[in-house]
Structure 1
Amino acid sequence: MWSWWWGGSNEKDELSRATLTALVSIFSVLVWLLWAAKKSRKVMPPLPPGPRGLPIVGYLPFLGTDLHRKFEELAGVYGPIYKVWLGQKLCVVVNSPSLVKEVVRDQDTIFANHDPPIAALIASFGGIDIPFSAYGPDWRTLRKIFVKQLLSNANLNNSYSVRNKEIKKSIRYVYDKIGTPIDIGELAFMTAINVLMNLAWGDTLLGEEGAKFSSEFKKSLGELMMLLGKPNISDFFPVLARFDLQGIEKQTMKISQWLGDIHESAIEKWTNSDKSQEEGTGKIDRKDFLQFLLEIGKKEDGATSLTINQVKVLLFDVVVGGADTTTTTVEWVMMELLYHPEVMRKVYEELTEIVGLNNLVEESHLPKLYYLDAVIKETFRLHPPLPFLIPRTPSQSTTIGGYYVPKDTRVMLNVWAIHRDPKLWENPLEFQPERFLNDPGKFDFSGNDFNYLPFGSGRRICAGTPLAERNFLYIIASFVHSFEWKLPQGTKMESSDLFGVVTKC
């Protein structure tokens, strides 16, 4: 009887001790969780400041059409970094060189992904080209091929004869029309597209039919750039994407198919041409880009081989990207020169001294044209081709300038505002090329000075800059040297800075 009681007592004590231990453990865990939650709330930095907007739609109703001007205005109110809710999408806009450095240099790997809109995904076969593909092995392979094989210094030097030939054709075209109005945009585009098509697959646009096609090409490309930059409800409310309320996806698809047909035709034409038969025989003097890409596509090595869609998007990047930005640059430079006759006169004098009155511009002259180089740089300062570059998105939550930036936020680098910031530039709204003559080595297109980023910076800097620089500098120098340009009598020139992924005259 005594032993039964003693056993029962022990069992009760053990149960009590177990219960007490469980209660103490649960209480300790709860206390720790409450402490950790309180601590995390204290440590978690705030989101950047920014305008309130409206419920559900955020700041969308207040954007307007000139996004670059609106965001510059908000930078003046909220400072170097601010947030904007566009529907369900959180956007963070960075407006200072030091904070841009945090994104493209200090945290370059975290911000190595771009945030393409739906229109860009349509135009790039689902985001598999260089500008819009996700950071990773595929992107590195494409960029390596693009930079080291297509745009190497050796290849660019070997293709000089193509640029020289096409620019001379354009000079003859203008010479035959002296005394009649010339659309500089059309002329620049026809020159650029002929250079790029010749480099890409050895073909050009010839005669009146070619000029008509060039005009249609330029119009379609301009529309595509506007669509890529236009705020799209489908991007800000994914649940509504299937309805395509603004028709942006439909329009983008139509233009992309038209451009895709051009690339399909080029590939088919090249495959069935004599060049294809001569491949590897040593009879081809210069390989065009398409030949390089098709040769790589035949390799069995998975690390370097390309799919046919990757071949197409690389051609798209070369021809479409190069033609539009080059054309826009030429238009802006010529507009500024016509606005500022004294600057035009200095450019004429430099070209006369370096090139000579009776000679045509050669690429060997270009490194000596310091004043024209300053004019182009000043034009890029006032009219950067991509006012926000291509928006980035962090692969993990992080901070910029002490503010919290959640994963997948759209981060926009406001190059437009930085280039016009009176704290960084003296008389920032005035066209003064001389500002780039004082220290010509400081500002270039490499993205190492965060006050000046026309082509971006970091690992996602524009891959086509070397080719673009050769094209627009050679075209502008040749056009200005070969003719005296004036506005038709009684004409008043207007510019509008139309916003798109590339800002237009």
Structure 2
Amino acid sequence: MMSLATLAFALLATLVILHDFIKQFWCKSVQGKSKWYPLPPGPAPWPVVGCALEVLWNKPAGRWILRWMEEIDTNIACFRIGNTNVIPVTDPKIAREFLMKQDATFISRPVSMAAQAFSGSYKTAVISPYGEQWKKMRRVLTSEIICPARHKWLHDKRAEEADNLVKHVFNQCKSLGQVDLRLTTRHYCGNVIRRLVFDKRYFGKGREDGGPTIDEEQHVDALFDSLNYLYAFCVSDYFPFLVGLDLDGHEKVVKNCVRTFRRLHEPIINERIKQWRDNSSSESNGKEPQDLLDVLILLKDSKGEPLLTPHEVKSQATEILMAAVDNPSNAVEWAMAEMINRPELIKKAKEEIDRVVGKERLVQESDIPQLKYIKACAREAFRLHPIAPFNVPHVALSDAVVAGYHIPKGSHILLSRWGLGRNSKVWDEPLEFKPERHIMSDTVEVVLTEPNLRFISFSTGRRGCIAAQLGTAMTVILLARLIQGFEWSMPPNVDSINLNESRFDLSLAKPLVLQAEPCLADHLYPK
């Protein structure tokens, strides 16, 4: 006879399979008529676990998902993982329907082990689920932190870091003759955002040559690790009862990142809160805020009390730091790799800088509107070589119909950065690096944003990136200063740069290391 346990398992499996079958269709009222809508196509899920085993076996999961979609030639799919429908999208038209036409339905974020850890249990604006706390922090960012007036206010700090970039590369030229552009671009971005948030490049004494110390190296590494693991298909995100077992090693990495952030951030933040809040004479003595941390601390509510708790200040400061480092550095490293293999592209970019800026001064942010070809190179790098396979996930707050498919409440929507940018129905020769495709005419300005979602540089919609102006400035100045200030060539015995992607993410398989020689008058290199 069948045992009670076996009978119970068989009954459970039958119920799950029946549930999955029923969920393939949904009766929805459309203009007074009933109509059945199927789920997007996807692999047949296993009972209970869905596609979790395939996700674990096929690392990185993002590549497996996109490969599966390519094989069956679909621009939208549904992968069931546990009880969650994960819906990737590679078509701009469908992407716009999610983020523009029905943006209010897909405005939330998933809960996850890493998101909870990095947001201080969802006290921030970017990765917190939809709710009153998100609304509060979103208002703080849009009105006080990432706004045109604040961007202008922080201009000089960004300019100093652009000068330090040139100084650091110049010193590497003189001492080594070679420059590791992965380290250089990442630490430039880390320097910029630390200056904007904490008004300091270094956590400690620093170095005279402008390079990072061990603290800044660990800080940037933690920022990139945190972004890589933020929504990385952690098994416990789909099966919460597994939290603590760390079956895929994600929890250890996340805890190490949080430990680094606390070690480096909290002494600065605690001291600053003490200065502004415990000493009431600070403001009366005429002291002015110097950075974004001061702004967060000084915000007041309608009763004149601090708007943000110390915990909210710490969490939001960390999120701002996380949000600024990966996109510009990755785009510029890839752009330089593509361009060094085709020297005519660097020549054309340098000619534009000479025409717009000349050789008697360094590129400034005020030059950005005229640097069309430089921006076209950056746009092409964002299109062809995105930093991550998917955009930050969106979560459906209710059942919806998109592109003729039923999207159940709670579904995770993943816009594929890689798939959108390489969609052959949208882009001619999608695998070729062709900056000129982004230059429409002499009168139309080239911008790094892409509101039509043909690729993703800075996302759109209510959950879109609100710091596109900062991201543009960092990306263009980084690329332009490198090209203007130095002659670049391949290392000895290297005929071409290998453009293969890493096995683990979408960065170059090997960091880009190039020969560099200063090419401007000596007085233009900051000493």
TM-score range, shorter chain: 0.7 to 0.9
The aligned residue for residue 216 of structure 2 is 214
Q: How does 1:9-158 map to 2 (within 5 A)?
A: 43-63=35-55, 64-76=58-70, 77-158=72-153
Partner Cα separation in structure 1 for residue 355 and residue 487 of structure 2:
16
Q: CA offset at residue 429 of structure 1?
A: 0.4
Q: CA offset at residue 264 of structure 1?
A: 1.0
Tell me which of 265, 275, 283 is aligned to 1:279.
Answer: 283
Partner Cα separation in structure 1 for residue 331 and residue 139 of structure 2:
26
Partner Cα separation in structure 2 for residue 144 and residue 44 of structure 1:
40
The aligned residue for residue 360 of structure 1 is 362
The aligned residue for residue 235 of structure 2 is 233
Partner Cα separation in structure 2 for residue 56 and residue 150 of structure 1:
44
Contact 2:84 2:410 in 1 (8 A): no
Partner Cα separation in structure 2 for residue 246 and residue 273 of structure 1:
43
Q: CA offset at residue 428 of structure 1?
A: 0.5
Q: CA offset at residue 40 of structure 1?
A: 7.7
Helix, strand or coil at the partner of 1:399: strand
Q: CA offset at residue 301 of structure 1?
A: 6.0
Q: CA offset at residue 307 of structure 1?
A: 1.8
Change (3 A) 1:125 1:436: same
The aligned residue for residue 493 of structure 1 is 497
The aligned residue for residue 412 of structure 1 is 414
Structure with bigger gyration radius: 1
Contact 2:326 2:387 in 1 (8 A): no
Deviations 1:287-323 (A, max 9, x none): 3111111111576468x81122221122112222212
Change (3 A) 1:394 1:160: same
Change (3 A) 1:38 1:113: closer
Tell me which of 159, 182, 189 is aligned to 1:185.
Answer: 182
Could you list the runs of 5+ residues in structure 2 that have no partner in the other structure? 1-24, 509-527
Helix, strand or coil at the partner of 1:177: helix
Contact 1:89 1:236 in 2 (8 A): yes
Could you list the runs of 5+ residues in structure 1 that have no partner in the other structure? 1-36
Change (3 A) 1:372 1:39: closer
Contact 1:92 1:409 in 2 (8 A): yes
Contact 2:340 2:490 in 1 (8 A): yes
Partner Cα separation in structure 1 for residue 28 and residue 417 of structure 2:
34
The aligned residue for residue 225 of structure 2 is 223
Contact 1:68 1:387 in 2 (8 A): yes
Deviations 1:245-275 (A, max 9, x none): 2231232022112112322111133345699
Q: CA offset at residue 196 of structure 1?
A: 1.5
Please state if 1:378 is matched with 2:383: no
Code of the residue aligned with 2:498 in structure 1: it is E
Higher mean alpha-carbon deviation, 489-498 vs 179-188, is at 489-498
Code of the residue aligned with 1:195 in structure 2: it is V
Helix, strand or coil at the partner of 1:485: strand
Partner Cα separation in structure 1 for residue 482 and residue 352 of structure 2:
14
Tell me which of 379, 386, 389 is aligned to 1:387.
Answer: 389
Helix, strand or coil at the partner of 1:243: coil
The aligned residue for residue 14 of structure 1 is none
Contact 2:193 2:324 in 1 (8 A): yes
Change (3 A) 1:346 1:162: same
The aligned residue for residue 15 of structure 1 is none
Code of the residue aligned with 1:52 in structure 2: it is A
Contact 1:186 1:218 in 2 (8 A): no
Equivalent residue pairs, number: 466
Tell me which of 299, 304, 323 is aligned to 2:325.
Answer: 323
Change (3 A) 1:167 1:273: farther
The aligned residue for residue 463 of structure 1 is 466
Contact 2:90 2:423 in 1 (8 A): no
Code of the residue aligned with 1:207 in structure 2: it is R
The aligned residue for residue 168 of structure 1 is 163
What's the TM-score, normalizing by structure 1?
Answer: 0.84
Contact 2:340 2:346 in 1 (8 A): yes
Helix, strand or coil at the partner of 2:79: strand
Q: CA offset at residue 57 of structure 1?
A: 3.6
Q: CA offset at residue 48 of structure 1?
A: 1.4
Change (3 A) 1:125 1:355: same
Code of the residue aligned with 1:133 in structure 2: it is S
The aligned residue for residue 22 of structure 1 is none
Higher helix share: 1
Q: CA offset at residue 498 of structure 1?
A: 4.2
Q: RMSD in angstroms over aligned alpha carbons? A: 2.8
What's the TM-score, normalizing by structure 2?
Answer: 0.81
Please state if 1:451 is matched with 2:454: yes
Code of the residue aligned with 2:187 in structure 1: it is M
Code of the residue aligned with 2:118 in structure 1: it is A
Helix, strand or coil at the partner of 1:176: helix
Q: CA offset at residue 369 of structure 1?
A: 0.4
